[in-house]
Amino acid sequence: MAALELAFESDSPEATRRLGEALGQALFPGAVIGLRGEMGAGKTTFVQGLARGLGVPGDVTSPTFTLMTELEGRLPLYHFDAWMAARETSLLADGGAELLEGPGVAVVEWAERVEAWLPAARLELEFSHVSPERRQIRIRLPSEQPSNATYRALLAHLAALPADPALRPLSLDSPPER
């Protein structure tokens, strides 16, 4: 049973990157982050911040076509994209899945399309459109797992972020405001 743990409303792509950066700073080897949400909801933008938090130099672009991009930071960052689900499944079956338990951090865009390949213990973020600029970002552990403790520490880290007017914590039950 998935328990909702945290939610934010982001006012801008840069605020979404700041959330990613804060998470990136706290990530540990072997961490797996699934990203859900439709086109343009902020998944790649979030990964740009995550990479910044991991100290990855240079630009982060969409890996839709290349299926996976490996980036070098404080930890290696494996950036997967499952928009083309059959392609990504094939990559994972061809050995790509080994990177999910490797020495680096794996972040998977369109995670719902390759869910069967992802470890049960992971962090999952769901992005949704609120307005052309604003996004709601819900962060949760998809299932109760003995190995969730490290992910709970990540959630605690995000819950304790300094106040950011463009990145507001939401009460978990509130529907998005019009």
Partner 1 sequence: MPASTPLAETGELVLGIESSCDDTAAAVVRGGRQVLSSVVRSQATLHAPFGGVVPEIAGRSHLRDIGPVIDQALAEAGVGLDDLDAIAVTVRPGLIGSLLVGLSAAKALAYARGLDLVGVHHIEAHAYAATMEHDVVFPAVALVVSGGHTALYRMENATTLELLGQTLDDAAGEAFDKVAQLLGLAYPGGPEIARTALAGNPAAIDFPRYRSKGEKASFSFSGLKTAVLYHLKGGDALAPTPAPADVEHKPDIAASFQAAAVDMLVRETIAAARRADIETVLVAGGVACNAELRRVMHERATADGIVATFPSPAYCSDNAAMIAGLGARRWRAGERAGWELDALAR
Binding residues vs partner 1 (CB under 8 A): 38-40, 44-45, 59, 61-62, 64-70, 83-87, 90-91, 93-94, 129-132, 134, 176, 178
Q: β-strands 167-169, 68-72: how paired?
A: unpaired
Closer to partner 1 at the Cβ: 54 or 60?
60
Shortest distance, position 136 Cβ to partner 1, whole Å: 10
Closer to partner 1 at the Cβ: 74 or 87?
87
Shortest distance, position 168 Cβ to partner 1, whole Å: 17
Q: Which residues pair with 3 in a beta bridge?
A: 141
Shortest distance, position 34 Cβ to partner 1, whole Å: 20
Closer to partner 1 at the Cβ: 169 or 176?
176
Residue (of 90, 92, 93) closest to 32 by Cα position: 92
Closer to partner 1 at the Cβ: 95 or 146?
95
Nearest 5°: CA angle at 17, between 15 and 19?
75
Q: CA–CA separation, 150 vs 6, rounded Å?
A: 16
Output Rg (C-alpha) for the chain, integer angstroms. 15
What residue has token string 């490797």? Answer: 102
